[in-house]
């Protein structure tokens, strides 16, 4: 097994790799965004869509094309980028804060809280429009993670990774059980729920995305601000304290940011937690220990993978729409297995 | 479809067993005897420490061991103190056995509990059935309707629940010991998704949404786990990699199930959903008999492995030097865990939390020094029996056992682990 | 003391041993012969392959070439369990089961000798008692290991290894992180173990204590043995220079003329 000592890796090389990867991923993201605007399930051909984008007068005049590109594909593309950035950043933050490389964004109870709220909204309050579901999901995710944070912040070991994770998974399980309970009683709710839980970006509207932007912005800003304290936390709590950070408090702030970001993502795209596990994992494989590098790369990787999954969702079973979470799994699952097997993150010294 | 509940995260417990052993133990440092202590070091009378000591003295053989008196006049440890605190030694000729006193006590406590729970569960229903009716139904002396309900529906269902619980408990015990992590459960290696996918595939094939033959679930579960292990490059490899690969593979398998489900009608989806929550509804001897045969084969193996599994609590090098072939032991334990969890999940659906909670409770009861295989089996059986009975009583509509374990399991987990947290001072 | 090994056994032989990882040899062409009753100390700079050598001898690492004969038998022809009857290793930083007591830990040393029908024989009992006595941990038998100080804990681990009753005992830095008093305790104990007829091979960092307590010194650098022999004969300025790239004065201890290394300031 070739571990780090076998090759001449110094920080400069890794650093250059990180810059290169960032640039490549950015370019890829732009290309994918363009593709996402050009390709769709509908009848409008990519060439016509391209003409529309370049300002071709004839194309601009076509109302159907306008509908396809501006009202359907643009919000969808924006949503994919936003969800990707949110989940990538949130997953990376959470993995660093819990010191658990297997943590994913559902861990703080966001997903199960959102699912429970959606089910409650559907069953008892007659919410059925996509916007109403989005609001319910957002509120539920936030409320659940707030409870988790409160639990984790109490007691002597306030803000310890174990407390965060345990509180999150325990409450998540309870919400999951209650969701199942409500669903088993009401067939009509179940019918809507089973499409919500699969996750989809189809039908997202710009008017729904805009109100979320401030939340996302706050979350991302906190994330960037936390890069240094989190890197210090990576050295162990005692070292972090001697560097002037307060580990418990840092973790709670980070967890707050994570629930903001993950809550927005879940509200838009349904409970897609897997991306928040995969992206940081991949980012670590590229940049190693650098925290800010991981954050940026993780966000970009997640955005790229999300757009790819969404693009595939539109084309694989054309003219129907495939569930995006399924395609995410098909793209991400093998990727995760491949990274796990490609040895850099496997336990050192485990000789073949 | 809904993703089957993934338990709490495996690496969630970074200070899992052994973590504190390496921490500096400053508080007691002053009790250390001063000065050089060779073989002729301080030879004061052995300190009567530990609550278990008085019990151990009753070990009949050890007290009268002749060489303990003659050959070692200066012996400072009573022979009894050397015997494991919670056991009694039985010797005959060249053979010797340790009878685990505390383990036996726990079993003696749990078995009656389980029996009572089974009795209650046979009685339990939303309509209510008197003990007398239940008994007459059981004995076949009541009216034919009652006899049929008790003998053909309730009893087999409760027995299947007991077996599923025992299998889940032992599977959880094995995986937790294997991963050295109190939160590791068999569902991390794809067992749930595999079983669900197999069930979805059969349900999709039928027009009524009926779940197909019972053996498809176990088959799917075991197949998924084997796939995970193959993808991870063998069971003997680092446990961490198996977990990551397990997440990746089970995501894909789960997605395939979702894909099929998203094309199905609501009827089928509802049927599969009920299954995926974890339910014992309608399970009878048709399922119970093969399950019993499988368990009769697997549980003794797990029990036999328990002694060796203790050594996994050491680091790998030390364990190997104590004569354990780690690769083989890990592979065997993983195979056992997968097989047990596979049949359990295949029969009862992915019932949450039992595989996680049963070994934790059993470990609390039987003490930290042993791998609680028997205790886990009994606790798991008791948990499922109680949850299933509860689900039939509390609501007008029958609650699947998985819903009950999931709703109650969360607070339970918090209670157990936060209590551990506060008693040992670990964060 | 521990029960003497009644039959004289051939000790430990290592022949032409190569070990390492694909593309990265760590131990190269090592030949050793440590007779019964001898203490050998392996010294050398960090990363020179000392620990890998010890792990290979303990059958934890498969050699790419060469053989290890413990008690006259090639260890790769034995099962892991059989090896545990002839070689015991104390790793550098072993991890104990949670909440284990001292007696519990030492009992684990008897694991290779136990089975389904032989779970706690009189011999097991005797071995555990002797090991506790030999290491002076008798009074601690009922204490929890994780509540002891570092020096006490190290003695308990040694007791476990002794209870295993193997002709060959391997110790990986048994004195690291111990204060001078405990270092002397542990090394005195090691001498007693050897006096009872066992073969001891240990990795040591401190050249001075290695020189004082070992019969044979094995100096390694870059995976190769650069010098091997009685400490009085092989420890000199040149060896210290070769191993650690350090200018040093070699003094002779008053009394036994044991070499003492005094490094000079660098630069």
Q: What is the pLDDT of residue B50?
A: 37
Burial of A271 (0-12, 13-18, 19+ CB in 10 A): buried
Under the banding of pLDDT at 50, 70 and 90, the label for residue C170 is very high
Contact B50 C101 (CB under 8 A): yes
With a CB-CB cutoff of 8 Å, which residues 79-138 of chain B face chain A? none
Q: What is the pLDDT of residue B75?
A: 45
Q: Is the pLDDT of residue B57 over 60?
A: no
User: Would you state the torsion angle of the CA atoms of residues A251, A101, B332, C114, taken in this order, to the nearest 10 degrees?
Assistant: -50
- Within 8 A of A170 by CB-CB distance, chain B residues are 8, 409-411, 413-414
Contact C30, C66 (CB under 8 A): yes
* C-alpha to C-alpha distance for C84 and C111, rounded to whole angstroms: 9
> What integer is the mean pLDDT of C101-116?
86
Nearest to B351 by CA among B380, B376, B378: B380
Nearest to A44 by CA among A312, A318, A269: A318
Q: Is the pLDDT of residue B333 over 50?
A: yes
* C-alpha to C-alpha distance for B56 and B44, rounded to whole angstroms: 20
* C-alpha to C-alpha distance for B291 and B156, rounded to whole angstroms: 12
Neighbours of chain C (3+ CB pairs under 8 A): A, B
**The most confident of A115-119, B94-98, B236-240, by mean pLDDT:** A115-119
Contact A351 C23 (CB under 8 A): no
Strand, helix or coil at C22? coil
Q: What is the pLDDT of residue B210?
A: 56
* C-alpha to C-alpha distance for C267 and C245, rounded to whole angstroms: 12
Residues in a beta bridge with C73: C70
Number of Cβ within 10 Å of residue A164's Cβ equals: 30
Average pLDDT, chain B: 73
Q: What is the pLDDT of residue C176?
A: 81
* C-alpha to C-alpha distance for B324 and B315, rounded to whole angstroms: 12
* C-alpha to C-alpha distance for A236 and A246, rounded to whole angstroms: 12
**The most confident of B205-214, B258-267, B305-314, by mean pLDDT:** B305-314
Q: Which helix (H) or strand (E) holds C107?
A: helix C102-108
Q: Is the pLDDT of residue B417 over 70?
A: no
* C-alpha to C-alpha distance for A53 and A34, rounded to whole angstroms: 9
> What integer is the mean pLDDT of A30-39?
83
**The most confident of A25-29, B250-254, B272-276, B392-396, by mean pLDDT:** A25-29
pLDDT digits (tens, 9 = 90+) for B345-355: 888 888 878 88
Average pLDDT, chain A: 78
pTM for the model:
0.78
Q: Is the pLDDT of residue A8 over 70?
A: no
Q: What is the pLDDT of residue B66?
A: 38
> What integer is the mean pLDDT of B87-106?
78
* C-alpha to C-alpha distance for C174 and B125, rounded to whole angstroms: 64
Contact B270, A187 (CB under 8 A): yes
- Within 8 A of C155 by CB-CB distance, chain B residues are 37
pLDDT digits (tens, 9 = 90+) for C206-255: 888 888 899 999 999 888 899 899 988 888 888 888 888 888 888 888 87
From the candidates B323, B332, B368, which should be mutated to test the interface with C, based on the most C CB atoms within 10 A?
B323
Contact B310, C110 (CB under 8 A): no
Under the banding of pLDDT at 50, 70 and 90, the label for residue B211 is low
* C-alpha to C-alpha distance for B294 and B299, rounded to whole angstroms: 8
pLDDT digits (tens, 9 = 90+) for B61-71: 333 333 333 33
Q: Which residue has the tokens 């039992």?
A: B354
> To 5 degrees, how large is the angle CA B3–CA B238–CA C24?
140
Average pLDDT, chain C: 85
> What integer is the mean pLDDT of B64-86?
50
Q: Is the pLDDT of residue A336 over 50?
A: yes
Q: What is the pLDDT of residue A42?
A: 67
Q: What is the pLDDT of residue C260?
A: 84
Q: Please give the ipTM for the structure prediction.
A: 0.85
Under the banding of pLDDT at 50, 70 and 90, the label for residue A56 is confident
Contact C25, C47 (CB under 8 A): no
Among the listed ranges B10-24, B226-240, C152-166, which one has the minimum average pLDDT value?
B10-24
Among the listed ranges A11-15, A168-172, B111-115, B362-366, which one has the minimum average pLDDT value?
A11-15
> What integer is the mean pLDDT of B323-338?
85
B5 touches chain A (CB under 8 A): yes
Query: Which tops the pLDDT comparison, C64 or A244?
Result: C64
């Amino acid at each position: 097994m070739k571990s780090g000592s076998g090759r001449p890796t110094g920080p400069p090389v890794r650093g250059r790799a990180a810059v290169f990867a960032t640039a490549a991923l950015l370019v890829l993201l732009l290309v994918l965004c363009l593709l996402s605007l050009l390709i769709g399930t509908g009848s409008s051909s990519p060439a016509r869509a391209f003409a529309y984008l370049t300002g071709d007068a004839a194309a601009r005049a076509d109302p159907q094309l306008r509908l396809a590109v501006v009202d359907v594909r643009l919000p969808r593309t924006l949503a994919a980028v936003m969800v990707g950035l949110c989940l990538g950043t949130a997953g990376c933050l959470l993995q660093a804060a819990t010191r658990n490389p297997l943590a994913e964004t559902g861990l703080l109870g966001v997903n199960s809280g959102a699912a429970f709220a959606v089910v409650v909204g559907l069953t008892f309050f007659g919410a059925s429009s996509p916007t109403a579901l989005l609001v319910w999901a957002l509120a539920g995710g936030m409320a659940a993670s707030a409870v988790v944070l409160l639990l984790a912040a109490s007691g002597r070991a306030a803000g310890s990774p174990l407390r965060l994770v345990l509180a999150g998974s325990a409450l998540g399980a309870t919400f999951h059980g209650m969701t199942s309970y409500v669903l088993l009683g009401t067939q009509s709710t179940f019918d809507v729920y089973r499409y919500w839980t699969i996750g989809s970006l189809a039908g997202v509207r710009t008017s729904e995305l805009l109100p979320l932007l401030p939340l996302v912005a706050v979350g991302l800003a906190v994330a960037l601000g936390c890069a240094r304290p989190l890197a210090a936390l990576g050295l162990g709590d005692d070292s972090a304290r001697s560097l002037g950070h307060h580990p418990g408090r840092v973790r709670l702030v980070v967890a707050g940011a994570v629930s903001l970001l993950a809550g927005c993502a879940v509200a838009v795209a349904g409970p897609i937690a897997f991306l928040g596990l995969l992206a940081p994992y991949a980012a670590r494989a590229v940049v190693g220990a650098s925290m800010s590098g991981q954050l940026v790369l993780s966000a970009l990787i997640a955005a790229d993978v999300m757009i790819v999954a969404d693009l595939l969702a539109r084309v694989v079973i054309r003219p129907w729409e495939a569930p995006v979470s399924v395609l995410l799994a098909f793209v991400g699952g093998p990727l995760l297995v491949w990274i796990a097997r490609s040895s850099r993150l496997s336990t050192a010294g485990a000789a073949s | 479809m809904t993703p089957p509940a993934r338990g709490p995260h495996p690496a969630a417990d970074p200070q899992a067993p052994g973590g504190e052993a390496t921490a500096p133990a400053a508080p007691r440092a002053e009790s250390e005897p001063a000065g050089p202590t060779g073989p002729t070091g301080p030879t004061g009378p052995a300190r009567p420490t530990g609550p278990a000591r008085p019990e151990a003295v009753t070990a009949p053989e050890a007290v009268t061991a002749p060489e303990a008196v003659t050959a070692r006049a200066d012996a400072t440890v009573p022979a009894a103190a050397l015997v494991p605190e919670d056991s009694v030694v039985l010797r005959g000729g060249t053979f010797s056995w340790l009878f685990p006193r505390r383990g036996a006590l726990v079993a003696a406590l749990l078995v009656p509990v389980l029996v009572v729970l089974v009795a209650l569960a046979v009685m339990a229903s939303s309509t209510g059935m008197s003990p007398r009716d239940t008994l007459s139904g059981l004995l076949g002396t009541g009216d034919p309707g009652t006899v049929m309900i008790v003998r053909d529906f309730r009893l087999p269902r409760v027995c299947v629940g007991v077996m599923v619980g025992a299998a889940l408990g032992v599977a959880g015990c094995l995986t937790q010991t294997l991963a050295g992590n109190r939160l590791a459960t068999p569902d991390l290696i794809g067992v749930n998704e595999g079983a669900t996918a197999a069930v979805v595939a059969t349900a999709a094939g039928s027009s009524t949404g009926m779940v197909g033959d019972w053996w498809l679930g176990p088959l799917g579960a075991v197949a998924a786990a084997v796939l995970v292990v193959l993808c991870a490059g063998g069971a003997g490899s680092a446990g961490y990699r198996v977990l990551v690969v397990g997440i990746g593979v089970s995501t894909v398998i789960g997605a395939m199930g979702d894909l099929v489900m998203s094309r199905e009608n609501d009827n089928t989806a509802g049927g599969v959903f009920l299954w995926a929550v974890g339910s014992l509804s309608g399970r009878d001897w048709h399922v119970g008999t093969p399950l019993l045969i499988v368990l009769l084969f697997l549980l003794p193996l797990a029990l036999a492995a328990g002694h060796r599994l203790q050594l996994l609590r050491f680091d790998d090098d030390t364990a190997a030097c104590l004569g354990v072939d780690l690769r083989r032991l890990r592979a065997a334990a993983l195979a056992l865990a997968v097989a047990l969890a596979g049949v359990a999940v295949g029969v009862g659906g992915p019932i949450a939390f039992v595989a996680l909670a049963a070994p934790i409770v059993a470990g609390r009861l039987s003490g930290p020094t042993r791998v609680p295989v028997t205790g886990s089996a009994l606790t798991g059986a008791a948990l499922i029996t109680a949850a299933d009975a509860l689900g039939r009583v509390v609501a007008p509509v029958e609650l699947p056992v998985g819903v009950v374990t999931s709703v109650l399991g969360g607070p339970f987990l918090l209670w157990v682990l936060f209590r551990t947290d506060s008693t040992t001072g670990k964060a | 003391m521990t029960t003497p090994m009644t039959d004289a056994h051939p000790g430990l032989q290592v022949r032409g041993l190569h070990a390492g990882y694909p593309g990265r040899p760590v131990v190269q062409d090592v030949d050793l012969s440590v007779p019964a009753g001898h203490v050998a100390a392996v010294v050398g700079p960090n990363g020179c392959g000392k620990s890998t050598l010890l792990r290979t001898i303990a059958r934890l690492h498969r050699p790419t070439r060469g053989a290890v004969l413990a008690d006259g038998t090639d260890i790769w022809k034995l099962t892991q369990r059989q090896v545990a009857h002839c070689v015991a290793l104390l790793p550098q930083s072993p991890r104990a089961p949670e909440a284990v007591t001292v007696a519990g830990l030492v009992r684990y040393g008897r694991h290779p000798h136990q089975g389904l029908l032989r779970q706690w024989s009189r011999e097991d009992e005797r071995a555990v008692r002797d090991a506790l006595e030999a290491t002076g941990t008798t009074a601690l038998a009922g204490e929890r290991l994780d509540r002891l100080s570092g020096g006490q804990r190290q003695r308990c681990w040694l007791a476990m290894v002794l209870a295993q009753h193997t002709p060959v005992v391997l110790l990986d830095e048994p004195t690291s992180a111990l204060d001078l008093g405990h270092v002397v305790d542990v090394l005195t104990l090691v001498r007693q173990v050897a006096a009872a007829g066992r073969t001891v091979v240990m990795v040591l960092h401190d050249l001075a204590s290695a020189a004082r307590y070992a019969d044979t010194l094995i100096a390694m650098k870059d995976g190769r043995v650069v010098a091997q022999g009685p400490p009085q004969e092989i420890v000199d300025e040149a060896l210290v220079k070769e191993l650690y790239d350090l200018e040093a004065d070699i003094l002779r201890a008053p009394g036994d003329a044991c070499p003492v290394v005094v490094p000079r300031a660098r630069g």
